[in-house]
């Protein structure tokens, strides 16, 4: 296995990206890839650049060097809205629900795209209300009035409206009650079953090892370790080394 390789048919390839925020250099050449329908975990301590990696993939920050390939073509400098249309769904750490849009309107931000028939829209909405009955109950409530866990559901459901090929999940279980955490775990399973790839950034190591097939460990803006999740489940020494848990 190559240091950062893995997937035979990569959907997403991140090659040696660097990012700068003002004067601080955050990513120092991060490389990773995600195969079609694969769930990949990205572990690391706080502030090592996990979120920035996701933002760089989603087009919210633009790398100063390196490139990002999606289905084999470079998307490095495309604006975020084009990436969303290509099939990259982004669920940010702070969820970023539109507080003054209703739940349905929040979902429609991803649904009202060119080339989606009304029937298909209804189907997608129904499907997501099926997964998240709590959102169906609150469909006419403003996003800002939902609880933290409900907002997390909404953020994921909203990204799913894009019918993405990959979803970038940034710490989805942060600050959630255990019951909600297991629900998130179930959703990742559902996404995997539906053939949607997931790049999961987490602090929750057991959940990540359980849900992911491969794991990258990142430290100080570079990938330090890369292994199948099964290997790490058997021997968690690398996790102790890089994360100090």
Decide: is 191 part of the binding site for another protein (CB under 8 A): no
Residue 216 Cα distances to 49, 95, 157, 191, angstroms: 12, 23, 25, 20
Closest by CA position to 220, among listed 72, 79, 49 = 49
**Residue whose CB is less far from another protein, 103 or 239:** 103
CB of 12 to another protein, least distance (A): 16
Contacting another protein within 143-172 (CB under 8 A): 158-159, 162
The answer to the question of residue 84 lying near another protein (CB under 8 A) is: yes
Q: Is 226 in the site for another protein (CB under 8 A)?
A: no
Smallest separation (angstroms) from another protein to the CB of 22: 13
Q: How far is the CB of 144 from another protein (least distance, A)?
A: 9
Is residue 100 a contact residue for another protein (CB under 8 A)?
A: yes
Distance CA 196, CA 120 (A): 18
**175 is a contact residue toward another protein (CB under 8 A):** no
Instruction: Give the nearest distance from C-beta 4 to another protein in angstroms.
Output: 25
CA–CA distance, 112 with 54 (Å, rounded to integer): 24
What's the min distance (Å) between Cβ of 35 and another protein?
Answer: 23
Site string for another protein, 51-70 (x = CB under 8 A): -------xxx----------
Close Cβ partners of 14 (under 8 Å, ≥ 6 residues apart) = 30, 31, 32, 33, 53, 56, 57, 66, 68, 69
CB of 55 to another protein, least distance (A): 9
SS3 label, residue 1: coil
The residues facing 221 across adjacent strands are none
Q: How far apart are CA 206 and CA 183, in angstroms?
A: 15
Residues constituting the chain: 245
For another protein, the binding residues (CB under 8 A) are: 58-60, 79-81, 83-85, 90, 92, 96, 98-101, 105, 108-110, 112-113, 158-159, 162
């Amino acid at each position: 296995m190559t240091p950062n390789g893995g997937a035979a048919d990569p959907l997403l390839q991140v090659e040696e990206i660097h990012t700068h925020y003002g004067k601080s250099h955050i990513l120092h050449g991060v490389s990773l890839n995600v195969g079609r329908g694969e769930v990949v975990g990205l572990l690391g301590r706080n502030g090592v650049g996990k979120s920035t990696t996701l933002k760089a993939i989603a087009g919210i920050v633009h790398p100063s060097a390196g490139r990002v390939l999606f289905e084999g073509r470079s998307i490095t400098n495309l604006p975020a809205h084009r990436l969303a249309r290509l099939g990259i769904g982004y669920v940010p750490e702070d969820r970023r629900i539109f507080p003054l849009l209703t739940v349905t309107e929040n979902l429609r931000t991803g649904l009202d795209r060119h080339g989606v028939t009304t029937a298909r829209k209804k189907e997608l909405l129904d499907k997501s209300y099926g997964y998240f009955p709590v959102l169906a109950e609150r469909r006419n409530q403003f996003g800002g009035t939902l609880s933290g866990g409900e907002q997390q559901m909404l953020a994921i459901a909203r990204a799913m409206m894009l019918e993405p090929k990959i979803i970038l999940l940034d710490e989805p279980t942060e600050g959630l009650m255990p019951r909600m955490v297991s629900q998130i775990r179930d959703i990742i399973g559902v996404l995997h079953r539906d053939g949607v790839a997931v790049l999961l950034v987490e602090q929750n190591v057991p959940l990540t090892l359980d849900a992911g097939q491969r794991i990258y460990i990142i430290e100080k803006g570079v990938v330090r370790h890369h292994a199948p999740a099964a290997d790490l489940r058997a021997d968690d020494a690398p996790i102790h080394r890089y994360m100090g848990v």
